Amino acid sequence: MVQSTGLRRLWKFTKGTAMFYCVAHCFSRHVGELVICSGPSMHPTIQDGDIVLAERFSVRLDNVQVGDIVGCMNPQKPKELLCKRIIGKEGNPVSSSQLPSGYVPIGHVFLQGDNLPVSTDSRHFGPVPEALVQIRLALRIWPLDRAGWINNRWFWDTAKKNSKE
Amino acid sequence: MGIGRLLVKGTIGGCAVLTFFDVVGHPAQVLGNSMQPTLEGGHAHWWKRDFVWLSTWNLHKCSPGTILTFVSPRDKNVVHIKRVTAVENQVVRPESHPDWITEIPKGHYWMQGDNPQHRHDSNTYGPVSAALVKGRATHIIWPPNRWQRLQK
């Protein structure tokens, strides 16, 4: 009798954990997630150890614009998320040694960190495919004294009214 | 009361299915004949084209010969299925321009279709980043007479 209640508890616990994991996974895949930024490449906009809320809707709706700060998979290390600013989308002129034509190629974006001397970005590995852009950083929630919108455009706004740069 | 419970259960069930698809693997249909004769995807009727099982485990560091699906580097709404023919640090000569000797960058694959007549692959758009890879084809699951393991 004792054993069967123990087993039932274990089963309940496993089921609850699995359900929680599934819901959390779907939420982070389709809605948004918390990003803990590390590294100096976006200093001073985003500093080492900042916690930022990021959303996936604008990427899903194809509404990522030049000037947005996005999380992007590192094309050279497939599990690493980079945090950079979009400098140019396809067809925009960008001058860089990586772009012999002077324009960003079809289906690609050009990324750059705000801290030019130390950032490793499109100036080193070239423009990245748009499909690698995963999330748009929207709201800094930690540290509290610098908390606030990183980008005050909503994901459905197509007009650019970004002031906090 | 009943409808609310049903909604919650449905949501959690949907999340469970999506998570399984993301973490373990999912079926997908082959479209186009770039992987003939290994995969048949050129037929007009969907039930005569192959379905493959795409595993989402161990996508990185694949060896040459593996069949992978990946998002096209030129269009994020298109998914391609091709075979890895060379991996990082190897040197390849694109078929269209044999003198453009390319060293494959770190974390990239050279992806080619099996059908030399009809393909749109790394010979056109260059090495593909491993971060674009979405799945690894392990089995043909439909039609039943073609059921087989795909690699190694």
Please write the tens of the pLDDT for every residue from B1-55: 689 999 999 999 999 999 999 999 999 998 888 888 888 888 888 888 889 999 9
Domain enclosing residue B120, as ranges: 26-149
Task: Show residues of chain B in contact with A58, CB under 8 Å.
Answer: none
pLDDT digits (tens, 9 = 90+) for A3-23: 778 899 999 999 999 999 999
Question: Would you place residue A160 in the very low, low, confident or very high pLDDT band (cuts 50, 70, 90)?
Answer: low
**Residue A22 placed within a domain:** yes
Q: Is the link from the previous residue into A105 a cis peptide, with omega within 30 of 0?
A: no
Residue numbers in B near A105 (CB within 8 A): 74
Q: Tell me the one-letter amino acid at B2.
A: G
User: Among all residues of B, which ones are annotated catalytic?
Assistant: 34, 82
Q: Is residue B3 part of a domain?
A: no
Report if residue A159 sits inside a domain: no
Statement: residue A60 has pLDDT above 50: yes
Residue B37: inside a domain? yes
Q: Is 70 exceeded by the pLDDT of residue A58?
A: yes
Domain presence at residue A160: no
pLDDT of the residue at A1: 54
At residue A164 the predicted structure's pLDDT band, cuts being 50, 70 and 90, is very low
Please report whether residue A53 resides in a domain: yes
Specify if A115 maps to a domain: yes
Section B71-89 average pLDDT: 91
What is the domain-level CATH number for residue B68? 2.10.109.10
Residue A130, chain B, CB below 8 Å: the answer is yes
* B136 belongs to a structural domain: yes
pLDDT for res A163: 44
Our count of domains for chain B comes to 1
Q: Would B12 be classed as within a structural domain?
A: no
* Inside any domain, residue A162: no
Q: Give the ipTM.
A: 0.83
Query: Domain with A140 in it: what CATH number?
Result: 2.10.109.10
> From A27, which residue of chain B is nearest by alpha-carbon distance?
B15
**Is B9 part of a structural domain of the chain?**
no
- Number of structural domains found in chain A: 1
**pTM of structure:** 0.86
Tell me which residue range forms the domain holding A88. 5-152
Q: Which of A160-164, B32-36, B116-120 has the lowest mean pLDDT?
A: A160-164
Q: Which of A130, A20, A28, A14 is closest to A70 using CA atoms?
A: A130
In this structure, is residue A164 part of a structural domain? no
A74/B15 Cβ within 8 A: no
Averaged pLDDT score across all residues of chain A: 88
Q: Which residue in A41, A96, A119, A122 is the catalytic one?
A: A41
Q: Is the pLDDT of residue A2 over 70?
A: no
Per-residue pLDDT, A159 = 64
- Cβ density class B117-149: b for 16+ within 10 Å, e for less: eebebbbebbbbbbbbbbbbbbbbebeeeeeee
pLDDT (mean) for A42-57: 89
- The helix (H) or strand (E) run that includes residue B17 is helix B2-23
